Chain A
């Protein structure tokens, strides 16, 4: 039985394993090889040992601001985005008029092509003629140079990203609706209030879903690319030079593939560390019904 299980499992896993080898292991081996060279993609690579890594930590003028920008963006989108998605999901799980309609409303931004969403938001945030500044003007506030200031550029791009978090809302909602009514009723019978229900039934039963959303949104937003690529090109003053865009620019625009490979390896380790931390602490707060 055991052996049969193992064979079946590997048959089921076979496509994923082939994908893993072809799309992750081999390319990573290639990237590791590249990272030890100086290679512009145009002529032969030159082996330089760990020079690239040394340069990243000692003389790179972009790396520190890129780390800062990446963390700022990810922290903003994960915190604001999870709060938004969870709040909306809770709201939609209540007796709200036109609930089905609102579900669609909140989900729809997710289906907008990211380039299209970048275009319309950049247009709304534009500081001279943009409608957001017009709204500020209307309530007597001065215009804000949203995408032109180091402090506000990332939150502005973050709002745009969070707007498209419809997928997380739906996943939260699926989790919420999967909570057996009986559990909630049991709390009511014991005289527990709304907070009690939320704290002792909803949160624990939802914890695997929360873990999934936090983990995937953190990983996805640490790798933010489109906002920097299509709106700010890393500016102002490096404040939106998100790591993946930096890697892209270093490799594909300034022809330093070896160096870009080294940066991406460091970044890979960093993301893995963040994910591992989230995952390992999750043991304390997630609860699986099936186990």
Chain B
């Protein structure tokens, strides 16, 4: 029997091959972002630019005000992530741990809400905001995050809670703990990985949103990164070197956030409380 701590070379090689394929689009994006217009369309393609054109970045920045986009995107994303983590956990707790009338119905309804294509509810929802007198700006984008945080997240947290043995909360309950305390003190530490995942997924969701800002943002100064990126493709053909430079810039913060949080994100999963 192989030693437990011996790395498996064959599997490592497989991971390396798959990993390389996975990284390739990033590499291609980065290398294209330093090329000139002629080089980028060369066939057979060059692996690396002959001359690294760092000036592509300042040039892209002059038409893609990344700093402003970043601040706008974070202004929408950060409160939304908070709202999603908070309210989806609350809902998931009720659905996973408490017996109450109509529980099954609510669960099915929440799951079912995930199935409705959002494209077509845009009009009724927009009309609702018009009726409330706030048809534009950030509020319509942020408020929904505080209303349950979406079926996907509720479902995810619920699934994690379902995997935690009930003895834990029963014990706390016998000690006289109420529901808020059971959730915060007993369960939250155990589902930290799930919560961090939800936070990250929510972040990406808002980071990516194209249709929402398109409908609700009217003033240019409020545009987001995704919008800025989508706009590149409008009208008269695509300036690939600029769009690649802009894409690289847009990826960077999300990658940074992930790398900063990966200790919690991934180590949290390793130390997951699921083992009870």
Q: Which residues of A contact B (CB under 8 A)?
A: 2, 5-6, 8-10, 12-13, 15-20, 22-24, 26-31, 34, 41, 88, 91-92, 94-98, 100, 102-117, 119-121, 123-124, 128-129, 131, 134, 137, 163, 167, 170-171, 173-174, 177-181, 208-209, 212, 216, 219, 223, 225-226, 230, 243-244, 247-248, 251, 257, 260-261, 264, 267-268, 271-272, 275, 288-291
Sampled A-B contacts (13; CB under 8 Å): A5-B98, A12-B94, A16-B87, A19-B149, A102-B19, A115-B230, A119-B229, A167-B204, A177-B269, A251-B119, A268-B117, A275-B115, A289-B165
The yes or no answer to B8 lying at the interface (CB within 8 A) is yes
Q: Is the CB of A243 within 8 A of B117?
A: yes
Q: Is the CB of A174 within 8 A of B147?
A: no
The yes or no answer to B236 lying at the interface (CB within 8 A) is no
Instruction: Choose from A15, A212, A251, A288 the contact partner of B147 (Cβ within 8 Å).
Output: A15
B144 to chain A, nearest CB (A): 6
Given contacts A177-B272, A178-B275, contact A16 B154 (CB under 8 A): yes
B95 to chain A, nearest CB (A): 8
Interface with A: B48-56, B57-65, B249-257, which one? B249-257
CA distance A137 to B45 in the complex (A): 12
Given contacts A163-B25, A289-B165, A290-B165, contact A12 B19 (CB under 8 A): no
Q: Is the CB of B113 within 8 A of A226?
A: no
Residues 188-231 of chain B: 1 if any A CB is under 8 Å from the residue's CB, otherwise 0? 00000110010001001001101000000000000001100110
Which of B194, B204, B240 neighbours the largest number of chain A CB atoms within 10 Å of its CB? B204
B76 to chain A, nearest CB (A): 14
Q: Which residues of A contact B274 (CB under 8 A)?
A: 174, 177-179
The yes or no answer to B247 lying at the interface (CB within 8 A) is yes
Interface of B is mostly: helix
Q: Is the CB of A230 within 8 A of B125?
A: no
Q: Which residues of A contact B147 (CB under 8 A)?
A: 15-16, 18-20, 22-23
Q: Is the CB of B225 within 8 A of A113?
A: yes
Residues 257-271 of chain B: 1 if any A CB is under 8 Å from the residue's CB, otherwise 0? 111001001100110
Question: For chain B residues 25-83, which have a beta carbon within 8 Å of chain A?
Answer: 25-26, 28-29, 32, 41-45
Beyond A106-B22, A119-B243, A248-B119, 16 extra complex contacts between A and B, CB < 8 Å: A12-B94, A23-B113, A24-B112, A94-B11, A95-B4, A96-B8, A98-B15, A111-B254, A116-B250, A116-B251, A120-B28, A208-B163, A271-B115, A275-B112, A289-B163, A290-B166
Task: Please name the residue on chain A nearest to B201 by beta carbon.
Answer: A167
B10 to chain A, nearest CB (A): 10
Task: Please name the residue on chain A nearest to B21 by beta carbon.
Answer: A163
Given contacts A115-B210, A247-B119, contact A95 B19 (CB under 8 A): no
Q: Is the CB of B7 within 8 A of A8?
A: no
Q: Is the CB of B124 within 8 A of A174?
A: no
Q: Is the CB of A28 within 8 A of B103?
A: no
* Closest A-B pairs by Cβ, 10 of them: A19-B147, A16-B148, A178-B274, A30-B124, A27-B121, A9-B100, A19-B148, A111-B254, A16-B91, A264-B120
Task: Please name the residue on chain A nearest to B276 by beta carbon.
Answer: A180
CA distance A105 to B144 in the complex (A): 32
Report, as a range, how many residues of chain B touch the other chain.
35 or more
Instruction: Choose from B7, B111, B119, B247 the contact partner of A225 (Cβ within 8 Å).
Output: B119
Task: Please name the residue on chain A nearest to B204 by beta carbon.
Answer: A111
Q: Is the CB of B12 within 8 A of A119?
A: no
Given contacts A15-B148, A31-B124, A247-B117, contact A108 B255 (CB under 8 A): yes
Q: Which residues of B contact A30 (CB under 8 A)?
A: 121, 123-124, 127
The yes or no answer to B130 lying at the interface (CB within 8 A) is no
Q: Is the CB of A119 within 8 A of B123?
A: no
The yes or no answer to B114 lying at the interface (CB within 8 A) is yes
CA distance A131 to B5 in the complex (A): 39
Q: Which residues of B contact A167 (CB under 8 A)?
A: 197, 201, 204
Given contacts A107-B258, A113-B207, contact A267 B22 (CB under 8 A): no
Given contacts A9-B98, A212-B156, A272-B112, contact A131 B165 (CB under 8 A): no
The yes or no answer to B171 lying at the interface (CB within 8 A) is no
Instruction: Choose from B87, B155, B258, B276 the contact partner of A15 (Cβ within 8 Å).
Output: B87
Task: Please name the residue on chain A nearest to B269 by beta carbon.
Answer: A174
Q: Which residues of A contact B22 (CB under 8 A)?
A: 105-106, 108-109, 163
Instruction: Choose from B14, B144, B226 the contact partner of A23 (Cβ within 8 Å).
Output: B144
CA distance A281 to B115 in the complex (A): 18
Q: Is the CB of A219 within 8 A of B15?
A: no
Instruction: Choose from B103, B112, B128, B258 the contact partner of A108 (Cβ within 8 Å).
Output: B258
A140 to chain B, nearest CB (A): 14
CA distance A277 to B217 in the complex (A): 39
Q: Is the CB of A106 within 8 A of B247?
A: no
